[in-house]
Amino acid sequence: MTSRDDLPEVTILCEDIDQERFIREYLICCGLDDRKIKDFGNPKGKTIKNNNALIVKHYPELIKSYRSRNYRNIAVVVMIDADEDSLDDRMRSLNIALDETAGNLNKDPRLSNEKIAIFVPSRNIETWFHYINSDISGQEYNEITDYKDKKMSTKERIELAKKSARILASEICPHGLDHISLPSLRYACRELQRLKL
């Protein structure tokens, strides 16, 4: 069993406060101390024309910093919505940003021992929230419909993100990947294994 002191310090790069609170709460549910979870200058509440472009722009800088300090027990979590693109398209854009040659060959430039996890909610993080909080078993879920509720306050969205993370960690993940219907969420669960929590 891993002690809390053995768990890495994690830096999060994501699009908005909903994603940041979701990731943070999930990591806390995994046993990380909130003080060991850092934010890589995420936009949180700022109006930005294209949050995806912001993530792609800062991803190489974050990974360069990670690699220069990888002798320490650190990890990175990146989250970027797929929006109208596919998970593969988003991953490819990040791979190209990090290493153009490898990315253009559809190769992931992350090394197998690097604690770098990338989550790509399809269509967006609200798709995951809708799935996680649904009480209807056997319901069809898709990653095309935009489930974003533009009427929710920031406080309500933050609470939904935290609640969703807690349900995912305590009720969904323990049952294994086969019980998860959303392909992008199954992919994220596999990515999470890179962090070695």
Has this prediction a pTM greater than 0.85? yes
Res 1: pLDDT = 43
User: What is the C-alpha to C-alpha distance for residues 129 and 127, in angstroms, rounded to an integer?
Assistant: 5
Res 43: pLDDT = 55
Residue 115: which residues within 8 A CB-CB, separation 6 or more?
8, 74, 75, 76, 194, 195, 196
Domain that holds residue 89: 4-195
Contact between 173 and 189 (Cβ < 8 Å): yes
Res 44: pLDDT = 52
Number of domains in the chain: 1
Res 176: pLDDT = 84
Residues lower than pLDDT 70 in the chain = 1-5, 42-49, 135-139
